[in-house]
Structure 1
Amino acid sequence: MQINIPNVFNKHLTSLKAICLSGANLGIGGSVADDCVICPFHQWKFRGTDGLCINIPYSTSVPKGSKVKKWISQEVDGFIFIWYHAEQTELPWDLRVPMGEIDDAFVYHGHNEFYINCHIQEIPENGADIAHFNAIHKKNFINGSWVQKKRLFGLGSHHWKARWSPLVGKLKYLAEVNLNHYFKLFGKFDCFRMEVSGKQIGPSIVCLEVNSYTFGKIKVVQYITPIEPLLQKVVHEFYGPRWIAPLMKIFIYGESLMFERDISIWNHKVFHRNPILAKEDASIKKFRLWFSQFYSSNSKLYSEATNIVFFGILYWKFLRTQIVSRTSVALRLTAKWIWWLDF
């Protein structure tokens, strides 16, 4: 999906499809003038408010119905979000209320960025997978990003308690996650306590507020963007008071290492639609029921999106572990906000 985003019209945001009716890319060599986007190929002029072509410089008339698609978009915290729905019917939810505003006293401290080979549902499901926290995030982060590494530093271990719950009614697209963390130093002293409260907003956005005696108050925002089937781009943005900049570098480093432990699992994991779960995994069942609202009958399956045709036994064996096992369980994604641009 290519999108042209001219921030015009008295500072009102508009987002148009970046492909002209001639096939040229409006974002490469195009220009903005008089609240319109002008194609670099033939100079056709498209009105930014609705995408309608209003002028063809070498013609006395404009063909009826000549317009490029206008996307529903919203600006929140310096990011532009584009609404995508497979049915093209359902109206989007407002992101400004659940995301909240960045505290005026907060500044941007940095971000990390990852590309992950997994089903899109795997990543947000992490918050509801209570058992995984102490399974792969217990070891001291100084030991690195790979959970099976031999312990080199015996300073202590991380301990977690978590709770995940969905909202209902008009806010059914939201879920809440709460984490309590402490570090047991030398197996004796409890320190570095943190309380984390967060909102899962649809299938791709998570906003976390971290309260810690060590780091103070921090805000972390996670964005997931599908790049292609079974390839997701994940970005974490970090905000906090200016004075904690040195400590924030440690926090970002530790968070990145912990997240890479999850990635080491996801990159080699097969997504099961109906996994066998213990009774203590009830929150995963709740999550999957909640997440199912973002699928529809017209969302493409993996096989449809990639147009894969299998020829012969050898080709089947080659792709078996990398593609086919996931093809049979790939679900249908419909509604989401896609984060697009920061400025």
Structure 2
Amino acid sequence: MSAPLNNLLETPDDGTLEQWYVACAQKELRKNKPYRAKILGLNLVLFRQRDGRAAALLDQCVHRGTRLSAGKIADDCLVCPYHGWRYDAQGQVVHIPSVGDMPCSSTSPAYRYRQRHFAVQEQDGLVWVYTGTGNPQEKPVFKLPVYGEKPWQSYFMINTFEADVGSLVQNFMDVPHTVFVHEGIFRSSTGRTMEATLACKAQSVEVTYHENGDKIGFLNWLSNPDGEPLVHTDRFFAPNVTRCDYRWGDCSAFFIISQITPIDSRQSRVYTYIAYRFRLPRWVLRLLRPFIHLYTRIVIRQDVKIIQAHRQGLDNAANFKPSNVQADAVHIGVDQLLAAVRRGEALPPAQRRESRIRFAL
């Protein structure tokens, strides 16, 4: 007997559900302690089995509806804190204390009860959950570039934003806001014209910038001591991953990959992966690592703050319609691709295009 799904959930579109989402970082999911996650309005509980594998169930006991994540792990099972019902990794109830120590078989009372379980995959320091009912193997988990490779340095930042996936994708791929939100620390307004090529593809939106003299804040002295031209490319991979690449020659590069997990229609948890390599000795980079981490955290906290102001503005009046100019062509492409995702489709051929855009910075 299955417990009902959350009746309070705003039912997402099928295409949004049939996806892998990051539930937590691997280091957040510890042995012997359940972990509570919320994805698309659905509360989940994750736990590690004795062999280290992760499992995920709907966070609700089929007995009285109690939150399973408030319980404990015992004998490789998740134990409800209210009446001690035990669940295995597949959501099967294997023991009901109130009916005694009967073995779990097709004739035992416990065998009748099961909670929904979800496919789980661990990769590149993250724990992913598939929220749909289709075949998870048909959709590969996003592979983080250069994860664990030498001489690359990498780390994660985890933040909660007051925004849906679309607003965050548009923010992470939006260059014009950087001279205002991150003025002086990332970019400053100069009035120069920036040109870019926008490519809207079946499953992605890609922007390649053609401003070779562009500089990225105070990191420029570290990342580009030889004055190499900057190669800057931003990509959105449907349904919820953005990747921003900054490269200077063959020896220096800085990647920002953001994996967006929708908590509900108004909030998202973002797992930002930073990877970099610079033409400096390793001991120098070790000394600079705290400053690089601090710099990126300052930048992302500025985005958290402006996204909150954006959310508050949207809440001020219903049915807001944006006023787009040429610099917002990226936003339009993102909106069109996300609309296709919600329908469970690729971007329609009529909307696939490549165009040149120009804007002042």
Give me the TM-score of the superposition, normalised by structure 2: 0.59
Contact 1:215 1:248 survives alignment (8 Å): no
CA offset digits 1:214-235 (Å, max 9, x no partner): 9932332213333443233444
Q: 1:273 to 1:76 in 2, by over 3 A?
A: farther
> Is residue 125 of structure 2 the alignment partner of residue 93 of structure 1?
no
> Is residue 62 of structure 2 the alignment partner of residue 17 of structure 1?
no
Match of 1:335 in 2: none
For residues 179 and 249 of structure 2, what CA distance do their matches in structure 1 show? 20
What amino acid is the match of 2:92? L
Contact 1:192 1:212 survives alignment (8 Å): yes
Shift of 1:5: 1.6
Match of 1:288 in 2: 335
Shift of 1:102: 0.8
Q: 1:12 to 1:31 in 2, by over 3 A?
A: closer
> Is residue 153 of structure 2 the alignment partner of residue 111 of structure 1?
no
Root-mean-square deviation (Å): 4.1
What amino acid is the match of 1:69? R
Shift of 1:17: 1.9
For residues 25 and 286 of structure 1, what CA distance do their matches in structure 2 show? 40
Shift of 1:13: 2.8
Q: Secondary structure at the match of 2:47?
A: coil
Q: 1:76 to 1:165 in 2, by over 3 A?
A: farther
For residues 98 and 216 of structure 2, what CA distance do their matches in structure 1 show? 74
Match of 2:94 in 1: 54
Match of 2:359 in 1: none
What amino acid is the match of 2:121? Q
Match of 2:236 in 1: 200
Match of 1:167 in 2: 201
CA offset digits 1:104-157 (Å, max 9, x no partner): 2234445262532x44422213466xxx623x3236945479x9xxx9xx9x68
For residues 216 and 260 of structure 2, what CA distance do their matches in structure 1 show? 32
What amino acid is the match of 2:141? L
CA offset digits 1:172-197 (Å, max 9, x no partner): 3x443434661399xxxx96854333
Q: 1:115 to 1:55 in 2, by over 3 A?
A: same
Mean Cα deviation higher: 214-223 or 202-211: 214-223
1:23-172 matches, cutoff 5 A: 23-33=65-75, 35-48=76-89, 50-59=90-99, 60=102, 61-63=108-110, 65-85=112-132, 88-89=133-134, 91=136, 93-97=139-143, 99-105=144-150, 106-109=152-155, 111=157, 113-116=159-162, 118-126=163-171, 133-134=175-176, 136-138=177-179, 141=182, 143=184, 161-168=195-202, 172=203
Q: 1:280 to 1:17 in 2, by over 3 A?
A: closer
For residues 269 and 141 of structure 1, what CA distance do their matches in structure 2 show? 20
For residues 143 and 214 of structure 1, what CA distance do their matches in structure 2 show? 27
The alignment covers a number of residue pairs equal to 272
CA offset digits 1:245-276 (Å, max 9, x no partner): 25624641563376358536623443968655
- Taking only the aligned residue pairs, the percentage that are identical comes to 13
For residues 233 and 158 of structure 1, what CA distance do their matches in structure 2 show? 35
What amino acid is the match of 1:183? K
CA offset digits 1:291-329 (Å, max 9, x no partner): 1123259xxxxxxxxxxxxxxxxxxxxxxxxxxxxxxxx
